[in-house]
Amino acid sequence: MKESACSLMISRSLRKFTDETKNSYKMNETILPHTDLQNIDETMLSSLEAFSQYRNVSAEKKAEFLEAIAIEIESLGDEVINIASRETNLPEGRLTGERGRTCMQLRLFADMVKEGSWVEASVDTADAGRKPLPKADIRKMLIPLGPVVVFGSSNFPFAFSTAGGDTASALATGCSVVVKAHPGHSETSKLVAGAIRKAIEKCNMPTGVFQHIDASGFGAESFEIGKQLVQHPATAAVAFTGSLSGGKALYGYAHERQVPIPVFAEMGSINPVVFLPETLKKNPDSLAKMYAGSITLGMGQFCTNPGLMIAIESESLTAFQQKLVTEISAFQSAKMLHDGIQQNYTEKLRKALEQKGVDLITAAKEQSNGPDSDASIASVNADTFLKNPLLREEIFGPFSLIVKCQNEEELKQVWLSLPGQLTTCVMGTDEDFLQHKELINSAFQLAGRIIFNQAPTGVEVCASMIHGGPYPATTDSRFTSVGTTAAKRWVRPLCFQNCPEFLLPAELKNANPKKIWRIVNEKMYNGDVA
Amino acid sequence: MKESACSLMISRSLRKFTDETKNSYKMNETILPHTDLQNIDETMLSSLEAFSQYRNVSAEKKAEFLEAIAIEIESLGDEVINIASRETNLPEGRLTGERGRTCMQLRLFADMVKEGSWVEASVDTADAGRKPLPKADIRKMLIPLGPVVVFGSSNFPFAFSTAGGDTASALATGCSVVVKAHPGHSETSKLVAGAIRKAIEKCNMPTGVFQHIDASGFGAESFEIGKQLVQHPATAAVAFTGSLSGGKALYGYAHERQVPIPVFAEMGSINPVVFLPETLKKNPDSLAKMYAGSITLGMGQFCTNPGLMIAIESESLTAFQQKLVTEISAFQSAKMLHDGIQQNYTEKLRKALEQKGVDLITAAKEQSNGPDSDASIASVNADTFLKNPLLREEIFGPFSLIVKCQNEEELKQVWLSLPGQLTTCVMGTDEDFLQHKELINSAFQLAGRIIFNQAPTGVEVCASMIHGGPYPATTDSRFTSVGTTAAKRWVRPLCFQNCPEFLLPAELKNANPKKIWRIVNEKMYNGDVA
C-alpha cells in the first residue's frame, strides 16, 4: 500500500476497509500466519477502524477493560507459566512474579484512567473585555495518537511483551494496539493474546482494538515484518524493547515513511556504577555481595544489568574485587533465554576478552552449564578503556567490566565519556557524596535514572520511575517505558478554542465532577470552572 | 568535527574548548561572519560550555534573566521597530504589537520558572516493609536537554525569531540557545541579540548562554549553515518555524546524525474552515467579513491563515462568496515580507489557478501593488479537489480556496482527506453542531487546534494554547511552539533513586517551601513530604 498524507490515508483506508475487507477478514482470528505479509495491511486497517471507535470509549469503560485483561491473564493459571518457562528457560518463580507485575501494571493504568488527571487538561477562560483584543476561551487535553505497534521483548515474556507496559499504556490512552510477538516465546504470547481477546468480548470492546501477530521466525523474516508494520500508513507510533541493532532498524524504517511517527525504542545500556573511595574502603564485602547478585540476577538478562564498574585503584578495590570473584564463582549459571542470546553472549564476551589490556578475573566452573554461560568479571585500566570504544558496548548477560582508574580525574573521564544510559549508580558514603557533588551533578546528563547506594536491577512501577535515557539507551530521552508516565508516548495535545460546552470532552467541561487536576487560568485546580 | 556518542562528545568538547578555544575565541562577539562555517564549531562548543553552568543557575536567577531580556528589548525603542519595518515591509503598529507580545512571552516564561511546578516533579517515598521486596525512594523531575538551535522565522521578526517563543522557552528550562537569524531581517535580529547580550552582562549569566549567527544569505549557503548547526554533536535540539521544505531539510539532517535529536519544525498548513449549512444561511455577510479579514490579515503571512474553505453548495454559499469577493476587493494590498516570499506566492498562486476546474473569483485591482500581491479567492468543486493533491498545498499569502461540495458526505470526505494541520475551524449554529457531532469528533484527529465560530488567525499565548499538529503541520504532534507548554520540547525527565536529601535538587526535596505542585505517592499535592 502506497503511503500518502496521514489523514487522507485514514479516510481512504477506512473506505477500503469498509468496502472490501470487512467481510472477508475474520476479525476474531487475529493470529496471522507469520509469513503472510499481506495480512499486515488488513491487521493495521482493522486496528485503525477499531481505534476510531475505541478512542471514544469512556474512561470508566477503558479502565474496566484493562482490569478484565488482568483477570483473564490470571485465569491462565499455571499453564502459561509452565509454557513460558519452557520457552524462555526462566524459572517459574520469576515468571509468576513477572505475571503479577504485568497484572499490577494493567491495574495501575486502569486507576490512572479512572482518576483522569493524566490528560493534562487545562482551561483558559475567555475575557471579552481584554484590550487591545478580546481573549477567546481556550482549553486543551491529551488525545490518543492512533494504532500503536508493540514489539514484544525477549527478556520479559509478560511484563514487556503481549500485555506488558507498552500495550497497557497504549490501551489506557485510547490507542489500539498491534503486538508482534517475540519469536522466543510465541506460545506464551498466544495464550496472553487469547486472554486479551476474552476481555475484549466480555467488555464489548471493538474487536480490532488488540491484535496479535505471531511471527515465530527470527532474522530476516522478522525484520521484514517489522518494516511492514512500522511503515504501514495506519501505524501512529511504535514501542520496542530489545537490542541496539533492532531498535535502530525500526527507527530507520520509521524515518523512511512519508509521514514520520514517534518510535520509542528502549535499547539497553551498560549501566555504569561508580564506587567512590570511602565506601569502597568501609564496605568492600557488602558492595561485592550486592553487585554479584545484581550482575547475575536472571542470568544478567536485564536492560539495567550493571555492565561497567568504575573505581580508583586501591587496596579496597582489590578487596572488593576478590570478594566479588568469590561471590560470582558460587553462582550457579543457567540456560539463557534462547540460543541466539546465548551465542551472542559468548561471542561478545570472547571479543571483549580478546581486547588488549582486558583481563578475565573469573574462570569457567566445572559444575556450570558449560563455560559459555558462566558469569564473568574482567578488568581493564582506564587509559585502555578510554581508547577502545568496543568496551563501551553492552554484553547482554552476566558480565561486568571493572575499570581501574589512577585518580579522580580519570574516573571522571571514564564516567562522562560514556554514551547515554538507562541508569547510572553512585556508591558512596555521605562524605564521598559531599566531596564529589560536582562530579555527580555532571553525571545527571548521562542517564535517565541515577541511583544512590543501590544496584540498578529492579525497576519500580510508579509515577516517578523513568526507564529511559539519552541515546543510545533509547531513541527519545523525553519519555519512559516503565511507570504511569509511559502513557505520554502515545498522546498529543488537542486545543479547543471557543468550543460550545456541550461539544467539549468531559475533561474540559466547566463542571468537574471527577475532580481531576487541571490548570485553570494558569493555576493548578481541581474544582469546577466558574 | 566527527560525531560520536553524545556524552563522550560532551566531555571531549569541553576539554577541547577549555584547552584550545577559550582564549582565542571572543565570546562577547558572537555575531559570526556568515560564510565562516568553522566558527559554527566554536559557537556550539561555547554553547555547550555555557549550558554546563547555566543549567545549575537557580530558578529565580533564570527568571530575572528572562525579565532583563524583555526590559532590554523594550529599551531598543523606536529604532528597532523602524528597522524591522524597513526589513520586513510590516507596518509599525503590527511590529510594536509583536514586540509587546515577545516581551510578554519572556515574562510569562519567567513567571513559569519562578512558580516552579512546570518541572513535573513527582515523589514516591520508600516503603522498607513492602513484600516481597522493599520499595526504594524514587523521585523525578524535568531537566534541560542541552544547547538548542533556533532558526528565526521570516514572518515574526520578534515573536518567533531571535528572542521569540523558542528562545524564551529554551532559556526558561535551562538550555543554552544558538539563534540563526532569518536573513530577511538580519539587522533587527542583531539589535535584539545585542539586547540579550546586555541582559547576560547585567545578570552575570554565562557569556555563551545565548549566541547569534548572522547569516544574511538565502539559499544554498543558508541550508549549509543549517546543516552544520543541526549536525553538530553539541546540538541537543532544534526549533524551526517556516516552510515545509525548510523544515523537512532540517529534520533530514538530524536523522543523519549518529545521535538523533528532537527537531520541532512548525511548517505551516492550510487551516481548513468548514461552514455548516445553517450558519451559512443565517450569517453569510458576517462570516464573509470575518474571513475576508482573516485571509488578508498581515498580507496572509500567518501560519494559521485560512487557505481552504469547505461548504455545501447552496444559495447561501453563493451569497457568502459574493460578499467575500466584495470585502476582499476593498482590501489594500501591501508588499510581502521579502522578494522570495512574493515570488513564491505569485508562482504557487499561478500554478493553483492553472489547475483544471479551479476558478479565480476575485480579480487584480488597479490601485494595488501589482496583480501579484493581490488577495485572491478561487473555487473548485469537491470532486476535482479530491483528485488533485496540489490543491492541498499551502500558498503562503492572502489566498483562500473555496471547495464546493454536493452534500454532507462530500464535505466529510474533503475535510478528512487533508493532511495534518495546525488548526481547523468549524463555523456553525448550535443546531449545526448537534447535527454534525460525529463529523466534528472525527476532525479531532486532523489538527492541533479546533476552533469554533472564530477565524484561525490570532494565537493566544497561554497554558492551553497548542500551536502544533500532525505532520506535515509539524514534525512532532506531541508538542507546541506557542504557550508555556512549549518548554516541554527542551527537557527530559531524570529519576533519582534512593538519593540523599542533601543531593536532591530543590524541586525534589521533602521540604517544598515554594509550594510547587508535585505528584506525591500518586496524588497531586503542593505540601512538604512527611
In percent, the amount of chain B with pLDDT more than 70 equals: 90
A425 is catalytic: no
CB within 8 Å of B93: residues ≥ 6 apart: none
| Average pLDDT of span B204-211 | 97
pLDDT for the residue A7: 42
Average pLDDT, chain A: 91
Least confident of A15-24, A261-270, B81-90: A15-24
Higher pLDDT, A386 or B133: A386
CA-derived radius of gyration, chain A = 25
Higher pLDDT, A197 or B367: A197
Strand order in the sheet with A210-213: A210-213, A177-180, A148-151, A237-241, A263-266
Q: Indicate whether A333 pLDDT > 90.
A: no
pLDDT for the residue B24: 33
* Helix/strand/coil percentages in chain B, nearest 5: 45, 15, 35
- Nearest chain B Cα distance for residue A402, angstroms: 19
| Distance separating alpha carbons of residues A428 and A255, to the nearest angstrom | 43
Residues of B with CB below 8 A from A422's CB?
Answer: none
pLDDT for the residue B332: 87
Q: Indicate whether A236 pLDDT > 50.
A: yes
Lookup: cell for B5: 556518542
Is residue B450 helix, strand or coil? strand
pLDDT for the residue A34: 42
| Average pLDDT of span B425-438 | 97
Pairing of strands B148-151, B122-124: unpaired
| Average pLDDT of span B249-261 | 95
pLDDT for the residue A324: 97
Is residue B451 helix, strand or coil? strand
| Distance separating alpha carbons of residues B198 and B75, to the nearest angstrom | 11
| Distance separating alpha carbons of residues B398 and B155, to the nearest angstrom | 13
Nearest CA in chain A to B252: A255
Lookup: cell for B211: 549566541
| Average pLDDT of span A154-183 | 96
| Distance separating alpha carbons of residues B238 and A3, to the nearest angstrom | 27
What confidence category does residue B259 fall into, taking pLDDT thresholds of 50, 70 and 90? very high
pLDDT for the residue A222: 78
Using the CB atoms, write b or e for A191-216: b if 16+ within 10 Å: bbbbbbbbbbeebebbbbbbbbbbbb
- Nearest chain A Cα distance for residue B169, angstroms: 16
DSSP secondary-structure letter at A303? T
- Nearest chain A Cα distance for residue B357, angstroms: 21
| Distance separating alpha carbons of residues B250 and B72, to the nearest angstrom | 31
Is residue B110 helix, strand or coil? helix
Lookup: cell for A417: 565519556
Using the CB atoms, write b or e for A338-356: b if 16+ within 10 Å: beebbebbbebbeebeeee
Nearest CA in chain B to A135: B460
What confidence category does residue B11 fall into, taking pLDDT thresholds of 50, 70 and 90? very low
Q: Catalytic residue numbers of B?
A: 266, 303
Residues of A with CB below 8 A from B485's CB?
Answer: 140, 493
| Distance separating alpha carbons of residues A43 and A65, to the nearest angstrom | 21
| Average pLDDT of span B494-505 | 98
pLDDT digits (tens, 9 = 90+) for A56-91: 999 999 999 999 999 999 999 999 999 999 999 999
pLDDT for the residue A223: 80
Residues of B with CB below 8 A from A146's CB?
Answer: 445
pLDDT digits (tens, 9 = 90+) for A187-202: 999 999 999 999 999 9
Consecutive H or E run containing B190: helix B186-203
Lookup: cell for A57: 470509549
pLDDT digits (tens, 9 = 90+) for B279-290: 999 999 999 999
| Distance separating alpha carbons of residues B189 and B158, to the nearest angstrom | 8
DSSP secondary-structure letter at A127? B
pLDDT for the residue B18: 38
Of A123, A446, A476, the CB nearest to B7: A446
Using the CB atoms, write b or e for B323-332: b if 16+ within 10 Å: bbbebbeebe
| Average pLDDT of span A228-240 | 97
pTM, two decimals, is 0.93
Alpha-carbon torsion (B463, B465, B471, B473), positive or negative = negative
pLDDT for the residue A101: 96
Nearest CA in chain A to B133: A458
Q: Indicate whether B70 pLDDT > 60.
A: yes
Of B471, B478, B493, the CB nearest to A466: B493
Q: Taking every pair of C-alpha atoms in chain A, what is the biggest distance, in angstroms?
A: 85
Answer yes or no: do B448 and A5 touch at CB < 8 A.
no
CB within 8 Å of A14: residues ≥ 6 apart: A45, A48, A49, A52
Q: Does residue A209 contact residue A150 with C-beta atoms inside 8 Å? A: no
Burial of A79 (0-12, 13-18, 19+ CB in 10 A): exposed
| Average pLDDT of span A278-293 | 97
CB within 8 Å of A237: residues ≥ 6 apart: A145, A146, A148, A149, A170, A175, A261, A262, A263, A264, A489, A490
Give the count of beta carbons closer than 10 Å to the beta carbon of residue B93: 10
| Distance separating alpha carbons of residues A154 and A422, to the nearest angstrom | 18
Q: Does residue A310 contact residue A287 with C-beta atoms inside 8 Å? A: no
Beta bridge partners of A492: A143
Q: Indicate whether A373 pLDDT > 90.
A: no
Q: Indicate whether A393 pLDDT > 80.
A: yes
Residues of B with CB below 8 A from A259's CB?
Answer: 419-420, 470-472
Q: Indicate whether A363 pLDDT > 80.
A: no
Q: Does residue B145 contact residue B233 with C-beta atoms inside 8 Å? A: no
Q: Give the closest residue to A237 by CA, choosing from A476, A464, A63, A11.
A: A476
Q: Residue type at A175?
A: C
What confidence category does residue A220 fall into, taking pLDDT thresholds of 50, 70 and 90? confident
Nearest CA in chain B to A480: B493
Average pLDDT, chain B: 91
Q: Residue type at A85?
A: S
Burial of B183 (0-12, 13-18, 19+ CB in 10 A): buried
Higher pLDDT, B33 or A42: A42
Provide the H-helix boundaries in B2-154. 6-16, 38-54, 59-75, 77-88, 92-115
Q: Indicate whether A98 pLDDT > 70.
A: yes
| Distance separating alpha carbons of residues A191 and B412, to the nearest angstrom | 41
Q: Indicate whether B30 pLDDT > 70.
A: no
Q: Give the closest residue to B31 by CA, choosing from B215, B167, B219, B266.
A: B215
Pairing of strands B399-405, B308-312: parallel
Answer yes or no: do B478 and A493 touch at CB < 8 A.
yes
